[in-house]
Amino acid sequence: MTLLNVDYPVRLEIDRPEHLNRLLPFVKWLLAIPHYVALLFLGIGAYVVTIISFFAVLITGRYPPGMFEFMVGVFRWGMRVHAYVFLQTDEYPPFTLDDVPTYPVRLEIDYPEHIARWRPLVNWLLAIPALIVASLIYLLAEICVFIAFFAILFTTEYPQALFDIVTIALRWSVRVGAFTYWMEEQYPPFVWG
């Protein structure tokens, strides 16, 4: 079962598993280390892409499609690792920027044909309210993961309410991230979903 997205150009879906391994939550953070190393290097690449796309959008009003796809891939990889470490799936994340339809964590970001040229100059400022709310929801998600750890340990199930809160937090995080990096013009919705 998945929690439905609102109509927004950034969509994150996470399938809730019926049962999870009782002992895997003890070592998921350790198993994710290769992904953290890969994401470190991808983050450096994303930083370079952000600088180049800043000028590209400022001059042309368009996000270069190849760079956009790279950034979507970095977000996608990051969300898979987050969901894995936040105990939402036992399936090890794939080492790819591409969409993997069979993996329980799927992210899509619609390519905008035009972006206002002024966006790169002020999006960081416009994003502040959404960043504050996203940070608070993310903090709540971390508390939910801590509680879910014990639920999984004793029952092998991730309680639906906790799973939904964590999914919403990750969804807010990626929506605000895409807006902050001027990948989407539409402001992230202030909705619980």
| Phi (first) and psi of residue 14, to 5 degrees | -130, 120
Query: What dihedral angle (degrees, nearest 10) is formed by the CA atoms of 151, 106, 91, 153?
Result: 0
C-alpha–C-alpha distance, residues 104 and 83, integer Å: 9
CA angle 75, 87, 90 (to 5 degrees): 90
Instruction: Kindly tell me if the per-residue pLDDT of 1 is higher than 50.
Output: no
Residue showing tokens 């807010």 = 172
Minimal CA–CA distance to 14: which of 137, 177, 139, 160? 160
To the nearest whole number, what is the mean pLDDT of the chain?
95
| Tens-place pLDDT, residues 3-45 | 555 689 999 999 999 999 999 999 999 999 999 999 999 999 9
